Chains A and B, each alone.
Chain A
Amino acid sequence: GAVVSQHPSRVICKSGTSVKIECRSLDFQATTMFWYRQFPKQSLMLMATSNEGSKATYEQGVEKDKFLINHASLTLSTLTVTSAHPEDSSFYICSASRPSGGFLYNEQFFGPGTRLTVL
C-alpha cells in the first residue's frame, strides 16, 4: 500500500520560533499534497493544496505568510509555521494524492500527523 510519513511526530517550541514539518510519500510519487489542521475533538480542516514546483493554494482564512509550504519534489512537501504562537498548537496532518491511472478520483493517503505544542 501507499505510505505517507511525517516528521517530526511531536514538537514543542517556544512562542515566536518557527517549526518545519515534513511530509513524504515513501513508495509513490504524489501529484499533489495537502495540509490539514485538526484541533482537539474537532474535524480536519484543509489548509492548503501543494503541487510540486508551483505555489501552494491556500484556503480562505489561512495566512500564507504564516504557514509556508514548499513542495520541493514529487515525494516531499514541507510546512513551516513561522513565528508560532500558542493558538497555533494543533495536530497537523498531510495527505498525498496518487495518480489514479485514468480513474477520475485520485486517492489520498494520509500521514500519521504532527502534534505541535507552542509554549
Chain B
Amino acid sequence: GESVGLHLPTLSVQEGDNSIINCAYSNSASDYFIWYKQESGKGPQFIIDIRSNMDKRQGQRVTVLLNKTVKHLSLQIAATQPGDSAVYFCAERKGGGADGLTFGKGTHLIIQP
C-alpha cells in the first residue's frame, strides 16, 4: 500500500550545526504534510506543516521543503540545541478535513555536545 517513509533512522549532529531530516512519500494525492517531534515516552508535538500548493515554509529555526516532483519532504533545523534531540516523524493527511494521519518511520536525531 501507499506509505510515508524516511531515509535515515538515526542522524547525529554537533550542537550548533544545522540538521536535515528527509522523508519520502508515495501517495501523489496527498495534499497536506506535517512534521512532528516525539520525545521518549511522550506524544507527538507539532513542529510545522505545509500544504501541497507550497514548496517551502519557515518557522522558528525550522524550515520544511516540499518537492512534489520526486515526492520528497524535508525538515531543516537550524543551530541545533540539546533540546532538539528526539524522534522526528513526517505525517501525511489521508484526506481532507478530519481524516487520520499516516506517519513515516521516524528519524532519531541525536545532538552531540
Residues in chain A within 8 A of chain B (CB atoms)? 4, 6, 31-32, 34, 36, 42-46, 49, 59, 91, 93, 95, 97, 104-113, 115
Residue-wise, chain B 45-69 has the 8 Å CB interface mask toward A (1 for contact) of 1100101000000000000000000
For residue A107, which residue of chain B has the nearest CB? B46
Q: Are A43 and B89 in contact (CB under 8 A)?
A: yes
Once the chains are docked, how many angstroms separate the CA of A108 from the CA of B45?
Answer: 10
Give the residue name and chain of the B residue nearest to A9 (CB). Answer: B41
CB pair A108–B89 under 8 Å, yes or no, is no
Q: How far is the CB of B43 from chain A (nearest CB, A)?
A: 4
Closest to A91 in B: B41
Cα distance A111–B96 in the bound complex, in angstroms: 22
Query: Is B99 in the interface zone, CB < 8 Å from A?
Result: yes
> Is the CB–CB distance between B103 and A45 below 8 Å?
yes
Bound together, the chains give a CA A17 to CA B43 distance in angstroms of 25
Q: Which of B36, B44, B100 contacts A46 (CB 8 A)?
A: B100
Q: List A contacts of B42 (CB < 8 A).
A: 112-113
Asked if B102 is an interface residue, CB under 8 A from chain A, the answer is yes
| Residue from B32, B93, B98 in contact with A32 in the complex, judged by beta carbons closer than 8 Å | B98
Interface hits, B1-58 → A, CB 8 Å: 32, 36, 41-46, 49, 51
Query: With A43-B105, A44-B89 known to touch, is A106 a contact of B98 (CB < 8 Å)?
Result: yes
Cα A31 to Cα B99 in complex, Å, equals 11
A-B contact count (CB 8 A): 59
A49 surroundings in chain B (CB, below 8 A)? 98-100
Most buried by B among A4, A34, A44, A59: A44
B89 cross-chain contacts in A, Cβ below 8 A: 43-44
Question: A93 and B43 in contact (CB under 8 A), knowing A43-B104, A45-B103?
Answer: yes
Contacts of B51 in A (CB 8 A): 105
For the complex, is B97 an interface residue (Cβ under 8 Å from A)?
yes
A43-B103, A44-B103 as given contacts; A113 in contact with B97, CB under 8 Å: no
**Residue of A6, A44, A105, A115 touching B44 (CB-CB under 8 A):** A44
Assembly CA distance A45 to B105 (angstroms):
10
- Asked if B101 is an interface residue, CB under 8 A from chain A, the answer is yes
